Amino acid sequence: MTKENRTKASKGNSFFLDERFMGAVCAVVVLSGLISLYFSLAEKDSFVVFEVGTKLVTSAAMFLAFKYFKWDVAKGLMGGVLFCLMYQEAHLVLARLWGEQDFDTYLVAGVQGSLYLAAAGMAFLMTVIITINHFFINYSTHGNPKNVILNRMAIIMKFAVYILLFVSNGMLGFSPDILWRNALQYLTDIALLLLLVCVESQFDSFNALRQELLKQKREGRKAE
């Protein structure tokens, strides 16, 4: 697609189509991710280092791939970013909270601990739904409008869950290092989700523009 068409596609009411906004979101991902990586290296947590590093690399690569019109690569990396989120949340919910029975610590904390546990579980379920729908939307032959609607609902719910995680995390009586590390992780994940929405919105916009150009071309041929 030409640069002119790309400019036309970017002119829309949605700020998700603004490439400057996309760049700013990607910068937030990189900045918060690097700070999280610093905390993780200081604590020598190899799993968190791997998790944060993978998110950083895949999100930056996704943005660059999209920027230089590598559509299939960008779509594949979007799935990779979602799998990063899903694996991270599965590790928290299934391995640490449930497997090590660490949820007892949060239950002792009272209401805010229970809210944190509920939000962590909901975040994992929403990411599973978003990941599955991502592949149905992007790789099915004719697409599925019902899956698009369900995906948008899941993303909205995911944002609400992140707000709940932020609030409940701040209310927990853990050390400042742990609270800050968690908050940075959620900030990175929110920025990642915004970046995914931006890229998907651009894909939708370009696809609509392509269909419009094809329609004009067909009408031009008929007129001849």
Residue 124's pLDDT is 92
Residue 122's pLDDT is 92
Average confidence (pLDDT) over 161-186: 86
Where residue 8 falls among pLDDT bands split at 50, 70, 90?
very low
Residue 47's pLDDT is 76
Residue 111 pLDDT > 60, yes or no?
A: yes
Q: Using CA atoms, how far apart are residues 58 and 40, in angstroms rounded to an integer? A: 18
The token duo for 137 is 């939307």
Helix (H) or strand (E) holding 49: helix 46-67
Domain membership of residue 24 (yes or no) is yes
Residue 45 pLDDT > 80, yes or no?
A: no
Domain membership of residue 146 (yes or no) is yes
Domain membership of residue 4 (yes or no) is no
Domain membership of residue 12 (yes or no) is no
pTM of the prediction? 0.78
**CA-closest candidate to residue 64, choices 208, 199, 206, 201:** 199
Domain membership of residue 49 (yes or no) is yes
The per-residue pLDDT for range 115-167, each reduced to its tens digit, is 888 999 999 999 999 888 888 776 665 666 677 778 888 888 999 999 999 88
Domain membership of residue 223 (yes or no) is no
Number of independent structural domains in the chain: 1
105: domain range? 18-203
Residue 148's pLDDT is 75
Q: Using CA atoms, how far apart are residues 122 and 116, in angstroms rounded to an integer? A: 10
Across the chain, what does the average pLDDT equal?
79
Residue 21 pLDDT > 60, yes or no?
A: yes
Domain membership of residue 151 (yes or no) is yes
Residue 160's pLDDT is 92
Residue 44's pLDDT is 72
The residue to which tokens 């992780």 are assigned: 185
- What b/e string do you get for 128-166 counting C-beta neighbours within 10 Å, with b at 16 or more? bbbbbbbeebbeeeeeeeebeebbeebbebbeebbebbb
* 80 Cβ contact partners less than 8 Å away, ≥ 6 residues apart: 58, 62
Backbone angles phi, psi at 13, to 5 degrees: -75, -30
Domain membership of residue 106 (yes or no) is yes
223 or 166: which carries more pLDDT confidence? 166
